[in-house]
Amino acid sequence: MLKASSNSAMLFFEDSLTEEELQASAMCINAMKVLRYSEQHEGIQITKLGNFYRKCVEWAAEAFQWPGYEPKELYAVNKVLNEPDFPPLFLIHEVLLNNRLIRHYKGKAKLTKAGTAMIGRYGDLQVILTEYMLRSPIGDDPQANALFWNLEHFMRVIGDQLSDWTTVADFSELIVPVDLFPSRGSISGRFEACLFAAHEIVRPMNWLGLVDDGHLKQKPHIRLEERLIRKTPLFDRFVRLIVPTADGGKHIH
């Protein structure tokens, strides 16, 4: 079943996908683990700062096995793990809290009724995560968003142009007006555009299982602009653009 995006009038998501179909989405699979963990432990203890207690963070580091954030890498730079030291868990906590799937109550992060009802509904959770992670990072200015955050355009480019490996630099040229990014000292506007595309689009789309950034297949220390990306099979199963046609009909992209 297609669910309309609140971020774009022409963007729709398939919310009936199963756990098996969503294995590529590290966000979805591991956010569901956090919901189940909270259910099994009658809530997750939180610190005075509102972060998950270290016991939960240590569990997540082992249970998630998140590429680039495996326990070996995490403990190489941290003697002990706190939630901010594990960005994927930090983001999952933020998304679940802001979508009222959990709430902070008496020192614990507890499931809400909506959170309890979400357990096992992987397709619905993937939609919630996608909507949150792909909201505009540049505010509500219509002109700025038209230039720099056109989700319909992003999705069309990914769907049409990223069947094969494409560099981040070429992807940036396709989706944003590179010439409008200012230089900062020795950092070129072109690099700033690549950084924007990589951080704001490629990384969340990768964590959602929609874009493969190929980092495990590439040389270490490769330049950002030369990193290779492509869409995943999940992208075509999950994302739909429904565009009005000249004759008043609709074209599903």
- What is the tens place of the pLDDT at every residue in 31-51? 999 999 999 999 999 999 999
pLDDT band at 14 (very low <50, low <70, confident <90, very high): very high
Q: Phi and psi for 185 in degrees, rounded to 5?
A: 65, -120
- Residue 83 to residue 57: CA distance in whole angstroms: 6
* Helix or strand run (H / E) with residue 232: none
What's the predicted TM-score (pTM) here? 0.92
CB atoms within 10 A of CB 84: 12
Q: Whole-angstrom Cα distance, residue 47 to residue 87?
A: 17
Residue pLDDT, tens place only, 70-111: 999 999 988 999 999 999 999 999 999 999 999 999 999 999
